[in-house]
Amino acid sequence: MSKIIFGPAGLGGVKEAKINLESYAKHGLKACEISFTYGVYLDKAESIEIGEFAEKLGIYLSIHSPYFINLNSKESDKVKASFDRVLKCCEAGHYLSLAYKGKHKTKIVFHCGFYSSGVGSKKKDYDKELSFQNIKKQILNLMEKIEENEWNVELCPETMGKINVFGSLEEISRLVKETGCSCCIDFAHVLARYGKHEFSLVEKSFPQKHWHCHFSGIVYGDKGEKHHKHTTEEEWKELLHELNKLDKEITIINESPSPFDDSILGLSLA
């Protein structure tokens, strides 16, 4: 049976952060993903303080990098800007992790980007293999920076829900194998992208012991994800039933429009 911890996407602003964390802990939630949707909003001192506070409450913090990230843009300045945004998150993640004294690395979740033939390519159409190689190169460069700075973080490229966006199960698991990075398995995205849960393919793709996951209800069509929605009891039960067949350590971040309530619902069904 897996060991599963739950928590919402969203810490709130600096002023509410501690109150929110206290409330999460009081309800039995042990994880929280800070959404730096529009950029890193915590400075060094705030990150260290919030990290210490979370550690005392037994909450593991992770980070979701800004949405405007494309490590495979055709424009080199966009790749550079994306690279720098992820790097900024890594720095903040390191400060958040200090209180854990090396026992916990902050997971830095990010969307890799879109399929394209990449910077400088004359090809008109995108090439999935080339996209993979471009993104892999950027991840290796990021990992080099992380090592240079001795930041206590792990890069987690996320499985994506739209078919025209880089991040199939195969692509993300191959990135893990070929770079040694970690990953984020978004079960709602998998359902939207493949039109089914693909639990056995997920299990085969990610043999590692610890899984950092996202979950919520999702509305999808032919092209995959449309938008996230409230997580129903049935959806939680289906997922938890599958996860409990495994022997893993799993973190599930809920990304529905009501992530706190939905995390508590998930926890109550576990």
Residues forming the site for Zn ion (CB under 5 A): 158
For the bound state, the minimum distance from the C-beta of residue 102 to Zn ion, rounded and expressed in Å, comes to 27
- Nearest approach in angstroms of CB 124 to Zn ion is 29
Structure-token pair, residue 233: 């009891």
Between 25 and 108, name the residue whose CB sits nearer to Zn ion: 108
For the CB of residue 186, give the shortest distance to Zn ion in the complex, in Å: 6
State how far the alpha carbon of 200 is from the alpha carbons of 204, 207, 242, in Å. Answer: 6, 11, 9
Q: Given the complex with Zn ion, which of 55 and 189 has the nearer CB atom?
A: 189
Least distance from Zn ion to the Cβ atom of residue 166, Å: 13
Q: Residue 67: how many CB atoms within 10 A of its CB? A: 12
**Residue with token string 């995205």:** 189
What tokens does 188 get?
């709602």
Choose between 91 and 158: whose C-beta lies nearer to Zn ion.
158
How many angstroms separate the Cα of 163 from the Cα of each of 88, 113, 160, 192?
28, 12, 8, 9
The helix (run of H) or strand (run of E) holding residue 94 is: helix 76-97
